[in-house]
Amino acid sequence: MNLANKLTMIRIFLVPVFLVFITVKEIPYGSIIATIVFVIASLTDQLDGHIARSRNQITNFGKFMDPLADKLLVTAALVSLVELKLVAGWAVVVILAREFAVSGLRTLAASDGIVIAASWWGKIKTVTQMIAILLLLLKVNINTSASAISFVNNNSFLKGFFTYVPETIMFIAVLITIVSGIDYFIKNKHVISMK
């Protein structure tokens, strides 16, 4: 297994670690640790792709596992944020519906020996979702610290930023998710027509 694929597997391993720290309230500084774990996992997404391309280590395993690792990380974070009442359930349903649809398309293509790699829209979707999730995780950390709440409330820019920006970025991420899903099906309609 090459280095890029190892980083992908590390990202998958970090998903349950993130879930433990974000959901178990009794763990001191759990949300801070969860945020750090999420950032590290997100960075491995950028790093494994760069390494795979620069070292010519692109493999079918990586093409399959990299998007799966992204889906697992994003899904874990979004479901946790719904539980924390920071993301609307409908938004997560839309995102997951797109993920299931594209995964189904990839499975259909794989049955004919075709590997559908992540598209440009798919990569933008992932980055936008991760930025939105990170901002919402920062909001979780602010909301769990009295001193952080006081600091943000005493700064009009930060108060406005954390009141509107994280949810706005999440809404944009949902729109890009829909666009990227449509893009996958338009560009790979031949996969469906072959059946």
What is the pLDDT, as a whole number, of residue 61?
A: 79
- Looking at residue 119, the DSSP 8-state letter turns out to be P
Domain definitions of the chain by residue range = 3-193
Place of tokens 């945020």: 35
CA dist 187 and 109 (Å) reads 12
What is the pLDDT, as a whole number, of residue 17?
A: 97
What is the pLDDT, as a whole number, of residue 194?
A: 60
What is the pLDDT, as a whole number, of residue 147?
A: 86
CATH fold label, 3-193: Four Helix Bundle (Hemerythrin (Met), subunit A) (1.20.120)
Q: Which residues of the chain have pLDDT under 70?
A: 194-195
Half-sphere exposure of 101 (CA within 13 A, CB side): 18
- Calculated CA dihedral for residues 127, 133, 135, 140, nearest 10 degrees: -170
Tens of pLDDT, residue by residue over 59-111, are 777 777 887 888 899 999 999 999 999 999 999 999 999 989 988 888 888 78
The DSSP secondary structure of 39-72, one letter per residue, reads HHHHHHHHHHHHHHHHTT---HHHHHHHHHHHHH
Please give the distance of CA 92 from its chain centroid, rounded to a whole number: 11
What is the pLDDT, as a whole number, of residue 80?
A: 95
Half-sphere exposure of 187 (CA within 13 A, CB side): 16
